[in-house]
Amino acid sequence: MYLSPAELTALVDGTETCPHRFLGQHPLGQSGTVVRALFPGALSCEVVTAESKPTKVPMEHLHAAGVFEVVFPKKKPPFGYQFLVQYPGGVSHQSEDPYRFLPTLSSEDLYLLGKGDHHQGHHKLGSRVLTVDGVAGVAFAVWAPSARRVSVVGDHNFWNGRAHPMRSLGVSGIWELFIPGLKAGVRYKYEIVGPHDLSPFLKTDPCGLHFERAPHHAAIVTDLSAHVWHDEAWLARRRESDPRRQPVSIYEVHLASWRRVPEEGNRVLSYREIGEQLAAYCKNMGFTHVELMPPAEHPFDGSWGYQVTGFYAPTHRFGTPLDFMAMVDTLHQAHIGVIVDWVPAHFPRDFFALAQFDGTHLYEHADPRLGEHQDWGTLIFNYGRHEVRGFLVGSALSWLERFHIDGLRVDAVASMLYLDYSRKEGEWIPNRHGGRENIEAIEFLKQVNSVVHLYHPGVMMIAEESTSFPGVTRPVFDGGLGFDFKWNMGWMHDTLQYFKTDPLFRKYHHDKLTFGMLYQWSESFVQAFSHDEVVHGKGSLIRKMPAPTVAEQFANLRCLLALQWTWPGKKTLFMGCEFGQFAEWNHEHSLDWHLLDYPLHSRVQHLVRDLNRLYVSDASLAAREGEHDGFSWINPADADQSVLTFARWGEQCHWVVIANFTPVDRTYRFGVPHGGQWEEVLNTDADCYGGKGRGNWGAVQAQALPCHQRPYSIEVFLPGLSVLVFRQKTGVLS
């Protein structure tokens, strides 16, 4: 096969969509084999044959731009060889020919990627360290269906887009190239010529695993096999577990501001430092999981990670992907699960990343009524494109498989479910049935939840969803979205509104505490006080507590936390709230750890530790916290005294909880389900928690005095602004 002038021009100008047609080795029938190469800027090139006695065969310089050719009249392809290239200044380089290798993606790969249903797609796109035909190198693959040309540029070719043009794999829209000799650590981008303009532009790899520091944003070839995991026992237990029936107490963390090193210029901790310190802290505090605010790569610190540009990559800010793996490994070995915030709802407009990736609206909708998120100034994924859904499913699977993540908390689900989310009339387009539901996004959520649970049993999928959309945590086969849990935003909002109210007037708002039980069993809930409640002028959690003294503020905070832990549902608490940080959260500074030198702060931290220990002490309570018969009211209606009483039922023990939300001390009788002794296992007014140290001497004896439709009752001393928990083990019931 000889080059025509037009074909030679296409190679030189970079408009040839399949350079493998002309570069590399090609049969010439009876005339042998032609080997052709493209080395922009080279003075000369020789073929070094792979024989017992290698020989150097000079190549003809076909074009000044760096096209070389030689004919081997007696050889038939395929055969091995390398190029020896001479550059100005006496620089020489010997390498394998990238264009003599077959595609690293099969026809089945292309079919499944096109369907958006390739469950190993995260191992097919992006950059992969591979050995092909005994030759080590890196395979690149990227989806850019409207591009005229895509080239790999980077450290290896002086960022020259003419040096390594990729081949188009037909209607799949995927461009592919295997470059032998490359190793982990090489920086790269894709140079793309779009459909409307011949001017090339640079894009970073959508599936890159590691990125360099801004403002350059190059992806970095990464080999994750260098990390040896030591969490096999943890993963084995996870596969056999059902998180709905286990205690789940989550500590929400922002990696850059949880803890810093002020002695070193306010330096952030590395992944490895965070792993060691966070594991020790959570183990001491009794949290079962940490939740990391989005650790994926993002360009702007002020987005807290919620405007993602690298959906497969841990951010470079704290180290490499291998360092991130070590952090997760350390937490697992301390028996702490790791949940990450995952953001498939939108992405930023930064041109170096996904926006108009191949010169068209590829990942996003072209119509701003569908493709622009008005609240955040970001772009909305086009869930109707199979490849976009496949890209996002691949991101989820990548975090779970490669990095051993134990759960994904899916951000902004409500904005995905509704086409009119935060839009006025005329600013949105109804679905094909005339409704407001985003049918394609709903199908995507079902798809990702189904695939995650298929391959990773025991992993949690958690929805941040603030509407009454039905069936969020119902299985997909039963018509639901397939999440395991949903943040209980209604309970959070009502409870905080109640606690913000002066205790003198709380009796008029008692229904805010009880209303949530009307829908408690409609979903599997997480009771969450998250970062969203302590930013943007909302003040810290303790600053929300109205009180004439700091001591009463802390008493209110202790009541709030005790109510959260004793209420049915899993728990999430944002960092700093566990010790009553006064300052509103600031992502640029460390938590105020020095406050633990003061008793009120250290003692509320002690309370959270004991709440966690109480919560996990009987797993059967957690197993039933999603079931309506695991809870019963004792008296939800004592609004005049702002007292709330309820019972929790487990297989090993029962709890009765009584809460007094005014500063008035009371002697209070309430009904209990059984006679015998009831142990006072928690009292937020205890001295060790910063209270006044008043209680019931560790236990009370039930009397056969009917109360609240129960045959027995107990009379307790109920301190002002306190929550008390009494427990009776099933073996002593009478």
**pLDDT higher than threshold 90 for residue 15:** no
Residues 6+ apart with CB under 8 A from 102: none
Which pLDDT tens digit goes with each residue over 332-357? 999 999 999 999 999 999 999 999 99
pLDDT of residue 87: 93
Cis peptide, bond prior to residue 215, ω within 30 of zero: yes
Per CATH, 5-98 and 107-226 having the same topology is answered: yes
Q: How many CB atoms lie within 10 A of CB 648?
A: 22
pLDDT of residue 734: 42
Average pLDDT value for residue range 17-45: 92
- 598: confidence class by pLDDT, cuts 50, 70, 90: very high
Laid out side by side, the sheet with 91-96 consists of: 56-58, 44-49, 81-87, 91-96
Residues 6+ apart with CB under 8 A from 613: 286
CA distance 259 to 221: 30
Which pLDDT tens digit goes with each residue over 490-538? 999 999 999 999 999 999 999 999 999 999 999 999 999 999 999 999 9
The tokens of 336 are what? 């702490």
Contact assessment for residue 49 and residue 57, using Cβ atoms and an 8 Å cutoff: yes
Which pLDDT tens digit goes with each residue over 152-194? 999 999 999 999 999 999 999 999 999 999 999 999 999 999 9
CATH fold group of domain 245-278+286-487: TIM Barrel (3.20.20)
pLDDT of residue 78: 86
Domain 5-98 listed as CATH 3.30.980.10: no
What residue ranges in 73-194 does DSSP mark as E strands? 81-87, 91-96, 126-132, 135-143, 149-154, 167-168, 174-180, 187-193
CA distance 114 to 136: 28
> 40-54, 329-343, 376-390, 623-637 — which is least confidently predicted?
40-54
**pLDDT higher than threshold 90 for residue 381:** yes
- 603: confidence class by pLDDT, cuts 50, 70, 90: very high
DSSP β-ladder status, 525-529 and 570-574: parallel
Query: Active-site residues: which are they?
Result: 411, 464
pLDDT of residue 731: 56
Where does 628-732 sit in CATH, by number?
A: 2.60.40.1180
Average pLDDT value for residue range 360-380: 94
Q: How many CB atoms lie within 10 A of CB 455?
A: 14
CA distance 313 to 109: 22
pTM: 0.96
- 555: confidence class by pLDDT, cuts 50, 70, 90: very high
Name the architecture of domain 107-226.
Sandwich (2.60)
What residue ranges do the domains of the chain occupy? 5-98, 107-226, 245-278+286-487, 628-732
